[in-house]
Structures are given as structure tokens and as C-alpha cells.
């Protein structure tokens, strides 16, 4: 029974990934799906920056934690020795964990004052990358079956969160999502997919289908990402991730207009920028002064200036401001 429920939720979450939802709306819908199987009194789901582990969005269930407890709960996440913080779970590679440590500050200072005593946490991973997590709290303990259920569904939620994060970042560019089988056959798509199909077909007939097959194959081996020229000299970005559902090998392909940041690496390579010069470029784009770039790269300020002079020559500019504008 539990395995059947888990497969059903995985299938429904996979369907949500193809609907073009942003992260908050995706998590709101997934909270309702999971809550039918693992009920709780309070729940909060978060998306995470996969590089820093910092929470990007927070989505609560029907009932929110009282406001006066929110700062306490946030502080607990960064208190040394606090058990099962999201950062600690991510570092250990755990998918689910129950809070059973009586020394926990969040148990004693947040949950028990609210009449709650048991917490289940789950992380949403894609491979080694963590895209979010959920905290679920209630009065009675969580069973082994419920932990097993969350272990089953968490990877599907992670894959869907990754797709939603890409879509959210490109909301203004009207991206499309296409769900394809391992062979590249379209299973579902958002309405804007037709426009992107036409753009790619303008380059060469059949190009849309070819790229979907390539994306499906690439997603099966890991995350797929490619920049393509359109028929007018612009750039299109295709990204694909394997979905975790009933159908093996399904992938969600996101199609959008490539931004300056997406093209940065390509432009640096095209101008013959060295690895160290690229490091300096990132410092310039981050607004770091020469001294800070030098300290970060463990080189002298004079060496940074030499790299900047080389970059100015390669890009035909005369200042850091012009270089940043050229690369933005």
C-alpha cells in the first residue's frame, strides 16, 4: 500500500514539474499531496541555493508557525550542535531524519511550547545537489513507513524543484517546459513550447526533435545544458533534468532565451581568456576591488592589474566599468 501511494505521489509531482509552476506554487501543491499520506500539524518547505545551501523560498502548509517563533527557529538552524539542521543533513547525504535529541533547541524552545513533540525532515536532492527540504511537525511520532514514504518521494520533489527553479529564474522570458521520454518523444509541454519549436525549426527542419532527443539522452547521464544559435543570431538555452516518476528515463527540458550570464563562459572562451583571467573577470562582475580579488586568488595586486590589462585588450575596452558592461 505504501509503495503504491509513493508511486502515485511521484507521478503527480512529476506532472507538476511539467506545468510551468514556480517553486512556491510547486511546493504548495506538493505539500497537499504529501499531507494526504503523512499528515502533520505544521509544515514548511524551502528551496535552497544549491551552491550556498541558503534558503531561497519558504512555503508553509495550511497553518503557519506563530510569528514570534520564526526568529528562534531560524537561529536554531545556525546554532552549533543543533541536531539535524538542514545544512548538516545535506553534508551527511541524508534524505530523511526524525528529531529525537532532547538537547535540541528547536524542540524545547519552539515545538514543545506549541504543544508539538515530533519532527520529520526531508531533503530534496538531485544526485549530490540539494535543491530544497521540508520540515514536518506533529504531536505523535512519525512511523518507519512514513520515513520510507518520504525517502521514496523526495527525489521526485527534488527533480521538480530543480525544474521550477530554472523556470522561476526565467519567468520574464516566457520559457517552455517539455517532458520527453528517453527516446525524445514528447509526453507533455507548456503552451509556449510551440514558439520555441518554430524558432528552432527556422534554423533547420527537424532540429527541435533532434535537440529533444539529445536533451533526453544527456539528462539520463546527468544534467544537460546547451546553448544554441537561433535563425537571427541570438541564443537559446536548453536545460534538461531526469524526472523521478513511474516512467523510467523521462526528462523535463526547459527552453528559454539565453541571458548574458548564460553566455559568459562561451564569450570568455571565444576571446581566449585564460583560467586566471576568468577568475579576475568574476571578481570584476561581483564589484570586488583589486585588493579583494588579489586576496581571494592568493596573488598580488600587481598581478591582478596585469590580468586586467590583458582583458581590456582582448575585449577592446579601457576600464573595469567598460569590461563589466561588455560582459553583462
Q: What CATH number has the domain bearing residue 310?
A: 1.10.10.10
Single residue among 143, 169, 195 that ends a domain in this structure = 169
Three-state DSSP class for 181? coil
Higher pLDDT, residue 169 or 182: 182
Contact criterion met (CB below 8 Å) for 300 and 294: yes
Confidence of residue 30 (pLDDT cuts 50, 70, 90): very high
At residue 112, the pLDDT reads 94
Report the number of distinct structural domains present in the chain: 3
Q: What CATH number has the domain bearing residue 78?
A: 3.30.450.40
Burial of residue 4, with CB atoms counted within 10 A of its CB: 0-12 exposed, 13-18 middle, 19 or more buried: exposed
pLDDT higher than threshold 60 for residue 39: yes
The number of beta carbons lying within 10 Å of the beta carbon of residue 188 is 16
Single residue among 227, 258, 289 that ends a domain in this structure = 258
- pTM of this prediction exceeds 0.85: no
The number of beta carbons lying within 10 Å of the beta carbon of residue 203 is 15
Q: Which of 76-85, 228-237, 314-323 has the lowest mean pLDDT?
A: 228-237
**Shared domain check, 165 and 25:** yes
Contact criterion met (CB below 8 Å) for 78 and 90: no
Which residues neighbour 237 within 8 Å (Cβ) at sequence distance 6 or greater? 225, 226, 227, 228, 254, 255, 256, 257, 258, 259, 262
Confidence of residue 51 (pLDDT cuts 50, 70, 90): low
Single residue among 111, 137, 169 that ends a domain in this structure = 169
**Shared domain check, 7 and 55:** yes
Q: Give the domain range for residue 85.
A: 2-169
Q: What are phi and psi of 239, to 5 degrees?
A: -130, 140
**Shared domain check, 207 and 300:** no
pLDDT higher than threshold 70 for residue 247: no
**Shared domain check, 269 and 252:** no
Q: What CATH number has the domain bearing residue 239?
A: 3.30.450.20
Amino acid at each position: 500500500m505504501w509503495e503504491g501511494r509513493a508511486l502515485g505521489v511521484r507521478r503527480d509531482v512529476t506532472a507538476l514539474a511539467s506545468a510551468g509552476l514556480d517553486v512556491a506554487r510547486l511546493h504548495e501543491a506538493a505539500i497537499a499531496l504529501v499531507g494526504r499520506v503523512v499528515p502533520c500539524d505544521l509544515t514548511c518547505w524551502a528551496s535552497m541555493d544549491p551552491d550556498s545551501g541558503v534558503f531561497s523560498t519558504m512555503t508553509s502548509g495550511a497553518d503557519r508557525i506563530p510569528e514570534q517563533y520564526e526568529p528562534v527557529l531560524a537561529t536554531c538552524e545556525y546554532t552549533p550542535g543543533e541536531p539535524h539542521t538542514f545544512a548538516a543533513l545535506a553534508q551527511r547525504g541524508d534524505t530523511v531524519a526524525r528529531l529525537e535529541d532532547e538537547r535540541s533547541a528547536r524542540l524545547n524552545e519552539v515545538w514543545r511550547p506549541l504543544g508539538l513533540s515530533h519532527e520529520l525532515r526531508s531533503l530534496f536532492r538531485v544526485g549530490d545537489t540539494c535543491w530544497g527540504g521540508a520540515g514536518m511537525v506533529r504531536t505523535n511520532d512519525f512511523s518507519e513507513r512514513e520515513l520510507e514514504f518520504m525517502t521514496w518521494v523526495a527525489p521526485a520533489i527534488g527533480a521538480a524543484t530543480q525544474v521550477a527553479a530554472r523556470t522561476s529564474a526565467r519567468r520574464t522570458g516566457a520559457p517552455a517546459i517539455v517532458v520527453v521520454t528517453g527516446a525524445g518523444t514528447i509526453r507533455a509541454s507548456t503552451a509556449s513550447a510551440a514558439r520555441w519549436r518554430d524558432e528552432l525549426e527556422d534554423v533547420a527542419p527537424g532540429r527541435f526533435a533532434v535537440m529533444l532527443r539529445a536533451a533526453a539522452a544527456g539528462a539520463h547521464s546527468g544534467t544537460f545544458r546547451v546553448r544554441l544559435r537561433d535563425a537571427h543570431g541570438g541564443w537559446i538555452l536548453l536545460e534538461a533534468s531526469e524526472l523521478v516518476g513511474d516512467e523510467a528515463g523521462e526528462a523535463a527540458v526547459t527552453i528559454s532565451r539565453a541571458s548574458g550570464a548564460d553566455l559568459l563562459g562561451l564569450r570568455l572562451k571565444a576571446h581566449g581568456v585564460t583560467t586566471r583571467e576568468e577568475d579576475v573577470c568574476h571578481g570584476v562582475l561581483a564589484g570586488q576591488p583589486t585588493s579583494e580579488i588579489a586576496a581571494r586568488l592568493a596573488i598580488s595586486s600587481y598581478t591582478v592589474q596585469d590580468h586586467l590589462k590583458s582583458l581590456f585588450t582582448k575585449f577592446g575596452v579601457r576600464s573595469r566599468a567598460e569590461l563589466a558592461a561588455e560582459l553583462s
